[in-house]
């Protein structure tokens, strides 16, 4: 039986001497680009989902249907490649969190993170975030763990998902409260911890040493220009982080390129051709040859003359 994406993610997390590098993707095309580059794991950014699907800022406006549809699309492109998805607050109380976890497991998501902001949340790199009390946060993590176990029981252990506990408490409540929340989350079943906005390498080292001694990997959210202190990948590895996600990687590149070419069209009435680029190149990136081969095997005749 092929290894599930969640099982593969657990294998990667168990490699204490290495670090998982996850480019932030937000749709099928950016996921295909990252897969072409050979990344072992992908990260579905919540901000990118909000910006691309709604055209709106990351202010808690996306709901489970939008996030799930996006995660399902991305996960389906390479079912053996783990996808870690932003699941925000879980979108409600314990029952809703359980529904979110079950749906993500059914969609093939390998890991998700749940946070401790109020339902009307905002991007972790904006100011004045409001948090729920610690017991409410823990009820979210506990609900996720229970839902995962129920799905495991129903599928005979085939279904699984890695639960990542995220806290945004550092900026408003301080380091001790943030650490306490993460330690409690691990105690109720979280697999990985994620402190938003780590202020520097020394703070990161304290967090990593505390949790790695318990066999719990730590995730670093690397957002250039955000509240997290910038670290190179080598620095993050040396500090002890087990996972680094880059949510804005594709977003920033796409914004820069699209602004440039649309501005060129507006100013000059023409667009310079990108060497070697045409519709077929993009179609091939997204599985054109595989589609044609499948159609042929099924007895289809529509593409006998080529495309």
CB atoms within 10 A of CB 141: 27
**Any catalytic annotation for residue 123?**
yes
Report the residue count for the chain.
307
**Any catalytic annotation for residue 43?**
yes
The one catalytic residue in 113, 122, 142, 181 is: 113
Contacts 24+ apart (CB under 8 A), 284-290: 285/29, 285/32, 285/33, 285/36, 286/28, 286/29, 286/32, 287/32
**Any catalytic annotation for residue 196?**
yes
**Any catalytic annotation for residue 58?**
yes
Using left for φ > 0, alpha for ψ between -120 and 50, and beta otherwise, residue 14 falls in alpha
Dist. CA 6–CA 31, nearest whole Å: 18
**Any catalytic annotation for residue 140?**
no
The one catalytic residue in 88, 160, 168, 191 is: 88
The one catalytic residue in 43, 91, 137, 246 is: 43
Q: Residue 166 contacts by C-beta under 8 Å, 6 or more apart in sequence? A: 113, 114, 115, 116, 124, 193, 194, 195, 196, 219
Q: Residue 221 contacts by C-beta under 8 Å, 6 or more apart in sequence? A: 124, 194, 196, 228, 245, 247
The one catalytic residue in 10, 26, 32, 58 is: 58
Dist. CA 170–CA 7, nearest whole Å: 31
**Any catalytic annotation for residue 148?**
no
The one catalytic residue in 10, 22, 32, 86 is: 86
CB atoms within 10 A of CB 233: 14
The one catalytic residue in 137, 196, 208, 246 is: 196
The one catalytic residue in 166, 168, 191, 208 is: 166
The one catalytic residue in 22, 41, 104, 123 is: 123
Helical residues (DSSP H) of the chain, grouped into ranges: 5-13, 28-36, 46-49, 64-77, 94-106, 134-154, 169-173, 175-187, 201-212, 233-239, 249-268, 279-285, 288-297
**Any catalytic annotation for residue 26?**
no
Dist. CA 274–CA 66, nearest whole Å: 33
In terms of DSSP bridges, do strands 218-221 and 162-167 run parallel, antiparallel, or are they unpaired? unpaired
**Any catalytic annotation for residue 86?**
yes
Catalytic residues: 43, 58, 86, 88, 113, 115, 123, 166, 196, 221
């Amino acid at each position: 039986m092929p290894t599930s994406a969640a099982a593969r993610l657990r294998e990667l997390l168990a490699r204490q001497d290495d670090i998982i590098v996850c480019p932030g993707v937000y749709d099928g095309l950016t996921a295909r680009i990252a897969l072409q580059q050979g990344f072992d794991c992908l990260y579905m950014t919540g901000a990118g989902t909000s910006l691309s699907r709604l055209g709106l800022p990351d202010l808690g406006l996306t709901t489970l249907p939008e996030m799930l549809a996006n995660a399902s699309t991305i996960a389906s492109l390479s079912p053996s490649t783990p996808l870690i998805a932003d699941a925000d607050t879980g979108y409600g109380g314990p029952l809703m969190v359980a529904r979110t976890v079950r749906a993500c497991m059914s969609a093939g998501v390998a890991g998700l993170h749940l946070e401790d902001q109020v339902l009307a949340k905002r991007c972790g790199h904006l100011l004045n975030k409001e948090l729920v009390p610690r017991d409410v946060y823990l009820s979210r993590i506990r609900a996720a763990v229970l839902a995962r176990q129920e799905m495991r029981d129903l599928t005979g252990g085939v279904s699984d998902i890695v639960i990542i506990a995220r806290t945004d408490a550092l900026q408003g409540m301080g380091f001790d409260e943030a650490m306490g929340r993460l330690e409690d989350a691990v105690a109720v079943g979280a697999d990985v911890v994620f402190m938003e906005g780590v202020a520097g390498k020394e703070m990161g080292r304290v967090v990593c040493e505390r949790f790695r001694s318990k066999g719990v990997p730590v995730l670093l959210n690397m957002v250039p220009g955000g509240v997290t202190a910038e670290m190179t990948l080598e620095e993050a590895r040396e500090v002890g982080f087990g996972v680094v996600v880059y949510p804005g990687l594709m977003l920033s590149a796409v914004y820069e390129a699209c602004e440039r070419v649309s501005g060129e069209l507006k100013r000059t009435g023409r667009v310079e051709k990108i060497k070697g680029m045409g519709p077929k190149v993009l179609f091939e990136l997204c599985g054109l040859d595989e589609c044609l081969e499948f159609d042929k095997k099924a007895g289809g005749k529509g593409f006998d003359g080529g495309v």
